[in-house]
Amino acid sequence: MKRFHVTTFGCQMNEHDSERMKGMLESLGYAEASVREEADLILFNTCSIREKADERFVSHLYDARALKRRDPERVIGVGGCWAQSVKDQVFRDYPFVDVAFGPGQVHKLAEFLTSDSLTAQGFFEFEGFTGHLPGKRARDVHAWVQISAGCNMKCSYCIVPSTRGREVSRPFEELVDEVRQLAAEGVREVTLLGQNVNSYGTRLRPEPRKFSELLRAVDAIDGIDRIRYTSPHPAHMTEDVILAHAELDSVCQHIHLPLQAGSSRVLKRMRRTYGRERFLDRVALIREHVPDCAITTDIIVGFPGETEADFVETLEVVEEVGFDGAFTFIYSPRRDTEAAEFVDEFVPHEEQVERMERLVEAVQRRARERAQRFVGRTLDVLVEGPSRYDPAQLRGRTTHNKVVNFDGLAAPGEIVAVEIATATSQSLTGSESLLSRVA
Ligand code: 5AD
Ligand code: SF4
Q: What is the CATH number of domain 375-437?
A: 2.40.50.140
Residue pLDDT, tens place only, 81-122: 999 999 989 999 999 999 999 999 999 999 999 988 768 888
pLDDT of residue 434: 79
Give the residue numbers of the binding site for [4Fe-4S] cluster: 11, 47, 81, 151, 155, 158
The confidence band for 79, taking pLDDT boundaries of 50, 70 and 90, is very high
**Percent of the chain with pLDDT strictly greater than 70:** 99
Question: What 3-state class would DSSP assign to 416?
Answer: strand
Q: Span 38-48, mean pLDDT? A: 97
**Kind plus residue range of the DSSP H or E element containing 163:** helix 160-164
Ordered strands of the 254-256 beta sheet: 254-256, 294-301, 325-330
- Which residue's CA is minimally distant from atom 14 of ligand 1? 298
User: Does the beta carbon of 404 lie inside 6 Å of ligand 1?
Assistant: no
pLDDT > 50? residue 439:
no
pLDDT of residue 271: 98
Q: What is the pTM of this model?
A: 0.96
Sequence ranges of the domains in the chain? 3-123, 137-252, 375-437
C-alpha span between 168 and 129 (Å, rounded)? 9
- Residue 381, classified by CB atoms within 10 Å of its CB into exposed (0-12), middle (13-18) or buried (19+), is buried
Residue pLDDT, tens place only, 362-396: 999 999 999 999 999 999 999 999 999 999 999 99
Q: What is the CATH number of domain 3-123?
A: 3.40.50.12160
User: What residues form DSSP beta bridges with 301?
Assistant: 330
User: Does the beta carbon of 49 lie inside 6 Å of ligand 1?
Assistant: yes
CA of 176 to the centre of ligand 2 (A): 25
Pick the CATH number of 137-252 from 3.30.750.210, 3.40.50.2000, 3.30.70.270, 3.40.50.300: 3.30.750.210
User: Does the beta carbon of 194 lie inside 6 Å of ligand 2?
Assistant: no
For the chain, give the longest Cα–Cα distance.
66
Distance of CA 211 to the CA centre of its chain: 18
Q: Span 219-237, mean pLDDT? A: 97
User: Does the beta carbon of 163 lie inside 6 Å of ligand 2?
Assistant: yes
The confidence band for 127, taking pLDDT boundaries of 50, 70 and 90, is confident
User: Does the beta carbon of 50 lie inside 6 Å of ligand 1?
Assistant: yes
CA of 111 to the centre of ligand 2 (A): 24
- Cβ distance 78 to 102 under 8 Å? no
CA of 317 to the centre of ligand 1 (A): 18
- Cβ distance 311 to 272 under 8 Å? no
CA of 300 to the centre of ligand 1 (A): 6
